[in-house]
């Protein structure tokens, strides 16, 4: 396909009128079609014979939606494979491009859709929530955590192509071209070449039941799986747990989910449900998520549980402790990749429990570490070359060894902006970070919140999960932003508690609006940051890019680090916290 079109030329959708009609005609015949030279589109399963990798076989009797997602009706899911030279394409980078493409398609459709392409007004929308991706590095729903698709056989099977599945109304078939363009951009950005498909042939797979998909099966957070479809008890449990995990983006705890479902089952109206969600720190988007996941239906101002929703509610009612334990494991197991700037892989290794390794010459008088064979040979070779000798002899001075650096515990204090602008997913993300650090590190954790005209310690330094959960449940967002008060309160508490190796992590979505000692809230916060530096405590600020200039001054005054994000999204915040913690304590 033509490169550069995804630079958002508003005429792109209009240009796809005729190609879209051609593609629709081909797919209605249960065939596959090439989009450009590298992509194959169909509603069927695709296979490639290793002996003829340039030819793609479309299994005309194996529906993609039925076999991948157990959908009852055929022809609902579009299947795209974009082929490239063997190599790994970062699935997160692809997902970001796909989300961008969906946004652009929606914008173009709002301009050209019904007027120029004859699309029926009021037809179902094209949603990025209903697009999945898989590459050689992983996959999942493009709007999800993207922590799925990690099974080795699955990743190896996708080292020569990007797989995309999309649940789209046929009226939006032009969106497939946008998705292909986005995937091609990500492939090229990874330094890989697109691979031309010489041909597409029709084949038979013997029906959905005869295809062995075990190498391709793995846990997923996809919204494409049809709820209520016949499945085993194991698959049903997996689906319920997956839905609970997805709802964690908009609900603070699974108990909040249960309370909302109880209200809906009690026939509360949409307005009352929305008001209750706002009080719990969620909001209307939480109700929309329940609707997208097929748990509730909203019709005429009334909210009701679907058949799947009732089964889902019964599962939560009967397995609440098990679900909470599952979510705790999810908090504990999520570890983003972290590299220390300016250091090699040796310092980044060893997260299995023995600590990172440091390379040093062997000390004859000290305790022996792990012999570094390759490094020892290299040292002997360099010495021989410097002396002009061809014979390699290893002397005592060449011996190199690895020593394990002992991990240090930290005492982390999260200073959380709980002002009104943090309501919803931003505050939920901050709470997610608190739970993750408590469950995945040996550190003690404290939490200080600041809002309106005050700041307070809501959680003293602890490792107690129940105490932390009770404290997190009390945090609600309102009021202005007294940032200076938050930093001062945190500093005073850590001194009083005699904290060891303290690390202060400030989370804020704005700049201070309430002063502490003067009439200038900005200067007061900078003064409080300077006091943090004088204390010698570690400091990191996680904030939003629009406020980079001021937050950079704040971090410099505090002698710490700054992590600027597009949005206070939970996985990005976890990655930033781990980068800071790894740099200081490992």
Please provide the size of the chain in residues.
Answer: 586
pLDDT at res. 495? 94
The distance from CA 19 to its chain's CA centroid, rounded to whole angstroms, is: 34
Cβ neighbours of residue 577 closer than 8 Å, sequence gap 6 or more: 433, 436, 437, 505, 540, 542
Walk me through the domains of the chain, giving residue ranges and CATH numbers. 5-216 (no CATH), 233-333 (1.10.10.10), 357-404 (no CATH), 411-585 (3.40.50.410)
Residues of 45-58 as b/e, b for ≥16 C-beta within 10 angstroms? bbebeeeeeeebbb
Mean pLDDT of 555-570: 92
pLDDT reported for residue 358: 65
H or E, element range at 153: helix 152-157
* Other C-beta atoms lying within 10 Å of the C-beta of residue 284: 15
Spatial separation of the C-alpha atoms in residues 190 and 36, rounded to whole Å: 19
User: Would you say the pTM of this structure is higher than 0.75?
Assistant: no
pLDDT of residue 68: 85
Q: pLDDT tier at 19 (50, 70, 90 boundaries)? A: very high
Whole-number Å distance between alpha carbons of 399 and 377: 8
Query: What is the CB neighbour count within 10 angstroms for residue 519?
Result: 7
Residue 213 pLDDT greater than 80, yes or no: no
Are the beta carbons of 400 and 359 closer than 8 angstroms?
Answer: yes
478-515 confidence digits (pLDDT tens): 999 999 999 999 999 999 999 988 999 999 998 999 88
Residues 126-153 pLDDT 10s: 889 899 999 999 999 998 888 888 888 7
pLDDT above 90 for 32: yes
CB-based contact 380:395 (threshold 8 Å): yes
- Percent of residues, the chain, with pLDDT higher than 70: 85
Query: Where does the pLDDT of residue 229 fall: very low under 50, low under 70, confident under 90, or very high at 90 and above?
Result: low
Q: Residue 117's pLDDT band (boundaries 50, 70, 90)? A: very low
pLDDT at position 346 is: 33
Task: Compute the Cα dihedral for 9, 142, 437, 346 and give only its sign.
Answer: negative
Span 32-36, mean pLDDT? 93
Predicted local confidence at residue 396, as pLDDT: 84
- 152 by DSSP, 3-state: which? helix
Bridge-based pairing of strands 538-544 and 561-565 is parallel
Residues paired with residue 415 on neighbouring β-strands, in sequence order? 448, 506
Helix residue spans in 206-283 (DSSP H): 233-247, 254-265, 270-279
* 255-314 residue pLDDT tens: 999 999 999 998 878 889 988 888 888 878 889 889 888 899 888 888 999 988 999 999
- Matching residue, tokens 């009104």: 420
Q: What is the pLDDT of residues 303-335, one digit of tens each?
A: 999 988 999 999 999 999 999 988 888 777 666
Lowest mean pLDDT among 124-138, 355-369, 544-558: 355-369
What pLDDT band is residue 11 in, cutting at 50, 70 and 90? confident
CA distance 337 to 334: 10
Q: Are strands 199-203 and 296-299 parallel, antiparallel or unpaired?
A: unpaired
Higher local confidence (pLDDT), 191 or 119? 191
Backbone angles phi, psi at 271, to 5 degrees: -65, -45
Per-chain mean pLDDT for the chain: 84
Q: What is the arithmetic mean of pLDDT over 44-62? A: 87
pLDDT tops 50 at residue 123:
no
Bridge partner residues of 401 (DSSP): 360, 371
What is the arithmetic mean of pLDDT over 384-400? 86
Residue 106 has pLDDT above 60, yes or no: yes
Q: At residue 114, does pLDDT exceed 80?
A: no
DSSP strand pairing (131-135 vs 138-141): antiparallel
CA distances from 160 to 136, 191, 364 (A): 8, 13, 50
Q: What's the average model confidence in pLDDT over 436-463?
A: 93
Taking residue 566's Cβ as centre, other Cβ atoms within 10 Å add up to: 9
- For residue 4, is pLDDT > 60? no
| Residue 304 falls in which region: left (phi positive, over 0), alpha (psi -120 to 50) or beta | beta
Structure tokens at 106: 């929606």
Q: 105-119, 149-163, 441-455 — which is least confidently predicted?
A: 105-119
Q: By three-state DSSP, how is residue 505 classified?
A: strand
Range with the poorest average pLDDT among 90-94, 172-176, 352-356, 361-365: 352-356
pLDDT of residue 2: 45
Residue of higher predicted confidence among 496 and 241: 496
Q: Is the pLDDT of residue 250 over 80?
A: yes
Confidence of residue 345 (pLDDT cuts 50, 70, 90): very low
């Amino acid at each position: 396909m033509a490169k550069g079109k995804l630079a958002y030329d508003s005429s792109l959708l209009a240009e796809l009128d005729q190609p879209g009609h051609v593609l629709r005609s081909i797919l209605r015949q249960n065939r596959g079609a090439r989009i450009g030279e590298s992509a194959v589109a169909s509603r069927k399963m695709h296979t490639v014979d290793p002996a003829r990798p340039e030819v793609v076989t479309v299994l005309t009797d194996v529906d993609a939606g039925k076999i991948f997602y157990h959908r009852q009706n055929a022809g609902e899911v579009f299947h795209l494979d974009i082929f490239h030279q063997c190599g790994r394409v970062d699935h997160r980078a692809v997902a970001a491009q796909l989300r961008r493409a969906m946004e652009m398609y929606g914008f173009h459709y709002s301009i050209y859709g019904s007027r120029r392409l004859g699309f029926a007004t009021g037809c179902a929308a094209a949603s990025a929530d209903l697009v999945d991706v898989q590459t050689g590095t992983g996959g999942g729903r493009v709007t999800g955590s993207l922590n799925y698709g990690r099974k080795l056989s699955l990743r190896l099977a996708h080292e020569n192509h990007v797989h995309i599945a999309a649940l789209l109304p046929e009226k939006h078939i032009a969106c497939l071209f946008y998705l292909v363009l986005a995937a091609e951009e990500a492939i090229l950005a990874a330094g890989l070449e697109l691979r031309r498909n010489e041909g597409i042939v029709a084949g038979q797979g013997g029906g959905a039941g005869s295809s062995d998909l075990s190498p391709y099966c793995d846990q997923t957070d996809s919204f494409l799986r049809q709820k209520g479809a016949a499945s085993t008890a194991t698959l049903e449990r997996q689906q319920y747990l997956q839905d609970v995990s997805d709802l964690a983006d908009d609900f603070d705890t699974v108990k909040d989910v249960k309370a909302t479902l109880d209200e809906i089952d009690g026939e509360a109206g949409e307005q009352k449900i929305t008001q209750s969600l706002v009080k719990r720190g969620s909001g209307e988007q939480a109700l929309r998520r329940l609707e997208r996941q097929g748990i509730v239906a909203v019709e005429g101002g009334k909210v009701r549980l679907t058949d799947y929703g009732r089964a889902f509610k019964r599962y939560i009612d009967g397995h609440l402790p098990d679900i909470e334990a599952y979510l705790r494991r999810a908090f504990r197991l999520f570890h983003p990749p972290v590299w220390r700037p300016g250091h090699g892989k040796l310092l980044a290794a060893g997260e299995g429990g023995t600590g990172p390794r440091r390379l040093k010459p062997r000390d004859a008088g000290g305790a022996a570490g792990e012999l570094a064979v390759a490094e020892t040979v290299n040292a002997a070779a360099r010495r021989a070359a410097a002396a002009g000798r061809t014979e390699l002899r290893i002397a005592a001075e060449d011996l190199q060894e690895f020593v394990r650096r002992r991990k240090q515990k930290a005492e982390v204090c999260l200073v959380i902006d709980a002002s009104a602008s943090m309501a919803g997913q931003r505050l939920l993300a901050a709470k997610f970070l608190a739970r993750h650090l408590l469950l995945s590190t040996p550190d003690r954790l404290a939490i200080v919140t600041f809002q309106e005209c005050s700041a307070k310690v809501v959680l003293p330094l602890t490792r107690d999960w129940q105490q932390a959960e009770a404290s997190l449940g009390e945090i609600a967002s309102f009021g202005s932003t007294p940032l200076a008060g938050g930093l001062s309160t945190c500093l005073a508490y850590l001194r009083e508690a005699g904290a060891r190796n303290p690390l202060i992590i400030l989370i804020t979505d704005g700049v201070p609006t309430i002063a502490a000692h003067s009439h200038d809230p900005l200067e007061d916060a900078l003064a409080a940051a300077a006091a943090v530096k004088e204390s010698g405590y570690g400091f990191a600020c996680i904030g939003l890019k629009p406020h980079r200039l001021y937050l950079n001054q704040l971090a410099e005054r505090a002698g710490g680090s700054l992590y600027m994000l597009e949005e206070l999204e939970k996985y990005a915040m976890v990655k930033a916290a781990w980068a800071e913690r790894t740099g200081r304590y490992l």
